[in-house]
Structure 1
Amino acid sequence: MSEAVAAASYRTRKGIWSVLILVILEAALVISWSAGFVGIRFAIDHAPIFLILLWRSLVSGLLLLPFALIMGPAMRWKDAFSQMLFGALAMSGYLAGFALAISYGVPTGLVALIADMLPLAVAILSWPVLGQALTARQWLGSLLGMAGVLIASGWSLNMGDVPLWAYGLPVLGTLSLAMATLLQKRSPTSAMPVYQSLCIQCLSASAIFAGFAWHEGAVLPVLDRGFIGGILWLVFVATFGAWSLYYIALRKSSPARVTAILYLSPPVTMIWAWVMFGEPLSFAMAGGLVVSLAGIIIVARSQKPTHAA
């Protein structure tokens, strides 16, 4: 009897530790996921935006390159070309969209909220790309999500220092990432390990950003501690840290739970921006956040789960 009690006690302690580790992992994921927005907001005080995006992508790609070449498998040009296309959409379009919005003064937390509406963008683009019409629940969730963004952005529009069109930049970036997501579902090429696909996407994005950075006036890094610190933050915390934690969380939990956890990144980003940069908070932003997240959850739960090949 005592052995049975001891075994049950051991299983209970093991279960508690497993839950605690998962909660810590998920908290780290939310913080690192929010770090990309905060890192961009910090780095724009030290360098032009496309120079920041160029060196974030280039350093990330070069650090991944030895793993991509040595660990294999051997890459085919057909697969590499597809990843270059996805990099142009998912990396260049997405990063440029939200980074430019932040550089023009759109509140960092609002940008994070719009960028977190990826499930809505995927649902909206599924009809023209995949021929999948939106269900009634998806329409409801999409309308709620957009209403929440309008509520949250209505307050910041009163600030008067941000051009109106700048609010469309993170929307375009999110649509670009959604398009890349849908095209990857349609792609006939074999799946690559994440370190290979991320390497190719980062390097192809850096080539695109190099052209824009040259047009801005410089492609060489700024020898400034703020710039170097910002790039290291974006590479190791926002890129490697966030994506590594994302895949570890997927292994230890369900995709639905991980997706739901990531919905916490906009409020965390808003708090970071308030603490670090003095970006004001408001009841309108908080209310819009709640409405948008409700819409996103409705859309995410109404989508059919996809299974990896």
Structure 2
Amino acid sequence: MSAPAADSAASPIARLLQAAVPAVFVVMWATGFTGARLGLPYAPPLTLLFLRFAIVVAVVLPISLVTRAPWPRGWRLRGHVAVVGLLMHSAYLGGVYCAIAAGVPSGISALIVGLQPLLTAAVVGPFLGERVTKLQWLGLAIGLAGVALVLLDKLHFDAAQSWGVVLAFGGLLSVTAGTLYQKRFCSHVDLRTGAVIQYSAASLVLLPLALALGWGPVEWTGELIFAMAWLVLVLSLGAVSIFYLLIRKGAASRVTSLFYLTPPVAALLGWIIFGESLGPVALFGMALTACGVALVMRRSVRWRWGRS
């Protein structure tokens, strides 16, 4: 008789933890822009990314072998996993990092990536057969308006930064394609071995590009070491794994709606860490963005944590 009572007592806690996962993901994902800003002054963007991915492989490969994690069956599925790695890591992060290195503010990069929910919703129906309701479209539009308000004072760049903006939009296309591709072909792949394949493929592509465009110099300062550790542990191992779990358990359009919260959180982190100011318009935009995300998530399918 005591077991059902224990289960009943634990279920509210479990539901609370499950509800907190998307919020934790947003905060972790937003810190990626902070980590990039900390690390890029001390290493070229592609070099920084290659080192980050190589360290991830060095960490996850032994874990996969020791825990006997299952590898994707067949070279075709492994190829799908590698494609996700190229889209989500090489192309997306490469575009964002190069944009920031070219002088595009990290807030602008966050804003551009924040357009992903609209892009995903536009193609998610034909690609995955998910229904996007009118209320969701309204939420997406409200979220976009909120993001624009948050970063209104940062929407200025000169001609020299135009190429960086193009690269950031290329990153947007890549992360959107990678999200849909992951949901369609790789949603049941083990996260440990999947990470080994993805980051290995991303490293193999970035290495020749980094060597061709200029490898260094790399200044191993305390800030770079801290940024690298944060990017590896919190972003590559933590946030990306949570992202794939969210894709596995919920609709792609709902998961990507969380990206609307990334620019406001990134702006908040900029205020806390770098002393960047947040005016009344930005605060209103943050609230508006939260309302838009709530509309998108309210009418979507529920997270299916009980099954994969």
TM-score, scaled relative to structure 1: 0.75
Q: Is the contact between residue 64 and residue 199 of structure 1 (CA under 8 Å) also seen in structure 2?
A: yes
Which of 139-148 and 238-247 deviates more? 238-247
Contact 2:150 2:264 in 1 (8 A): no
Which has the higher mean CA deviation after the structures are superposed, 51-60 or 209-218?
A: 209-218
Query: Which residue pairs with 2:85 in the alignment?
Result: 87
TM-aligned CA deviation for residue 92 of structure 1: 1.7
Q: Secondary structure at the match of 2:41?
A: coil
* CA deviation vs aligned residue, 1:114-155 (integer Å, no higher than 9, x gap): 434543332112245346675433433333333334444442
Q: 1:145 to 1:32 in 2, by over 3 A?
A: closer
Deviation string, structure 1 residues 185-238 (Cα, Å, up to 9, x no partner): 332x68221111122111111122223211221178544433333211211122
Counterpart position of 1:239: 236
> Which residue identity does 2:28 align to in structure 1?
S
Residue 105 of structure 1, CA deviation:
3.6
- Please say if 1:103 is aligned against 2:105: no
> Among residues 139, 144, 147, which one is paired with 2:145 in the alignment?
147
CA contact (8 A) 2:107 2:267 kept: yes
Q: 1:65 aligns with which of 28, 43, 61?
A: 61
Alignment of 1:5-16 (within 5 A): none
Partner letter of residue 43 of structure 2? A
* 1:125 paired to 2:119: no
Instruction: State how far apart, in whole Å, the 1-side matches of 2:130 and 2:27 are.
Output: 34
Q: Distance in 1 between matches of 2:250 and 2:211?
A: 40
| Counterpart for residue 4 of structure 1 | none
Structure 2 counterpart of 1:270: 267
CA shift in 2, pair 1:115/1:296, >3 Å: farther
Change (3 A) 1:171 1:152: farther
Residue 225 of structure 2 corresponds to 228
Equivalents in 2 of 1:295, 1:137: separation in Å?
A: 10
Distance 1:24 1:246 in 2: 13
Structure of greater Rg: 1
Tell me the residue number matched to 1:206.
203
**What amino acid is the match of 1:43?**
G
| Cα separation, 1, equivalents of 2:255 and 2:132 | 23
In 2, the alpha carbon distance for the partners of 1:74 and 1:218 equals 32
Hey, what's the Cα distance between the residues in 2 that align with 1:285 and 1:100? 26
Which of 179, 182, 185 is 1:181 aligned to? Answer: 179
TM-score for both structures, normalised by structure 2 = 0.75
CA deviation vs aligned residue, 1:148-185 (integer Å, no higher than 9, x gap): 34444442134658735544544432332221222233
Secondary structure of 2:197's aligned partner: helix
The verdict on how the C-alpha distance between 1:105 and 1:152 changes in structure 2, with shifts beyond 3 A counting, is farther
- 1:31–1:74 Cα change, 3 Å: closer
For 1:77, give the aligned amino acid.
W
1:42 aligns to 2:41 (yes or no): no
Number of matched residues?
Answer: 300
Q: Which blocks of at least 5 consecutive residues in structure 2 are unaligned? A: none
Per the alignment, residue 51 of structure 1 pairs with 47
Asked if 1 retains the 8 angstrom alpha-carbon contact of 2:71 and 2:194, the reply is: no
State the alpha-carbon separation in 1 of the partners of residues 128 and 255 from structure 2. 25
Q: Distance in 2 between matches of 1:250 and 1:77?
A: 23
Q: Is the 8 A contact 2:258 2:293 kept in 1?
A: no
How many percent of aligned residue pairs carry the same amino acid?
Answer: 32
Matched position secondary structure for 2:98: helix
Which residue does 1:3 correspond to in 2?
none
d(CA) in 2 for partners of 1:274, 1:162: 26
Q: Are the equivalent residues in 2 in contact too, given 1:98–1:170 (CA < 8 A)?
A: yes
1:101 deviates by: 3.1
